Amino acid sequence: MASGLTTTLTITGDRDLFERVSKAARSPRELMQNVGVLGMNSGAFRLTQILAMKPKDAVRTGALYSSIKAGADGKPGEDTIFEISDLQAVVGTNLPYAKQRQEGGPIFPRDAKALAIPIPIALKRAKKSPFDIDPSRTILQFVPIFRGKIIGLLVDGGVEGPLEKRRRKREAKTPYGPGPLFMLMWYVDQEGTPFLFWGPEDLKVIEDELIPQWLRLK
């Protein structure tokens, strides 16, 4: 008689349950689609949290939010990347500034020689450019600085008003002066604010909810 060592595992229990699990395991695409939707919606939520801390970016980033907000059916939008297979879920956005928002880095001017950074709070809220305020380029004065990435200032020099209390009060030429209105810079450094990734909380949802749901355990 041959000698040897064997071990046997016999599974007993709900046969219907085992059949459901086996059938689901043959179609992993359903799971990967749900994982993709989770990743995009989590990214969209993180982006709203970032914008809540930086309200001035909310309008500029509305298209980015829309491009990564997936519906329950996982239907992609025009700028959405949503590629699902049996083995992986690839999600993201085609918008060119998405990577800049995620990773940060220098921002250079596109259609001008320098970036004009508004200085007064009222001017920041108004979102006006130097051309909006001074289209003829006869009001704002350029004060050169040339220090590092700083080129200089655009200043509302104002005009001398009537003599008051032994001094002349300067009256603004624009609604935002008098004084420095813009800082001209070669570029600015933007800090990255990651938003599109699968975090620990997402992995917990996948393990505790999506996988059992896919295997028909819930």
Name the domain count of the chain. Answer: 2
Residue 36 confidence (pLDDT) above 50: yes
The arithmetic mean of pLDDT across residues 185-213, rounded, is 89
Q: What is the pLDDT of residue 54?
A: 61
Do 34 and 76 lie in one domain? The reply is yes
**pLDDT exceeds 90 at position 118:** yes
Domain that residue 170 falls in: 109-186
Question: Could you read off the pLDDT of 1-34 as tens digits, one per residue?
Answer: 444 543 344 445 555 655 666 666 667 888 888 8
Same domain, 36 and 101: yes
Mean pLDDT over residues 27-42, rounded?
87
Report yes or no on 7 lying in a domain.
no
The pLDDT assigned to 211 comes to 85
Note whether residue 38 is domain-resident.
yes
Say what the pTM is: 0.63
Same domain flag for 55 and 158: no
pLDDT greater than 60 at residue 72: no
Among 46-55, 67-76, 90-99, name the one with the lowest average pLDDT.
67-76
Long-range contact list for 60-68, CB < 8 A, 24+ apart? Answer: 61/101, 63/95, 64/93, 64/95, 64/97, 64/98, 64/101, 67/93, 67/94, 67/95, 67/98, 68/40, 68/43, 68/44, 68/92, 68/93, 68/196
